[in-house]
Structure 1
Amino acid sequence: MNVTIKSVHFDASESTREFLEERLQKIDFATDKIVDLDFTLTREKDHQFEIEAKLHFRWGLRAVVKTKSYDLNQGIHELVDKVDMKVRKEVEKVQEHKA
């Protein structure tokens, strides 16, 4: 799984990147099912953060998950939870299809 982190309108600190990578351990079960996972962290004019994850699954499916938050770490926490739910749902669909 290739993970990229891009920040827009600010520079993400090393601690923010480490926090995101630490939270990604939650989806370790699916590292062989996800080809690319691209994160875009954007600071908007009202100091709110829009955090987006683009998932590219091995079987060709692409998904986008977004969240907004005034606290970057809280937004990352929420986004990774959403990514986890999306990954579990898609993996379950594929397993049902094979059965």
Structure 2
Amino acid sequence: MAIQCPKCNSTLITARNMGKKACCSIGIVAGGAQGVSNALKGARIGAEVGAFFGQTGIFLGRLAGALVGAMIGGISGGIAGAKVGEIIDDRVLDNFECMQCEHVFRID
């Protein structure tokens, strides 16, 4: 069933997803901060694994470990933030906008 505008009955409706966008951004920043901690742990583990290949292995192991740790933190934070934002969009915010009359509304 197509969503209709309660004001003009148009079916030209778009989802705004403001909560999802905002919470995803906040989640990425928070996850990135957590990723710093993960990066330090990853660098230590990478250096231990890379020690088998000499000084170059230690350097590359630290670099790879730090990058993987930071990416995991940022990605997981972004995903968690997007899920929270999705719930906020559905239950709290007026998430839909009519493209014809610009009326903003939500579906209960």
- TM-score, length-scaled by structure 2: 0.33
Greater share of strand residues, 1 or 2? 1
From the CA coordinates, give the structure whose radius of gyration is larger: 2
More helix by percentage: 2
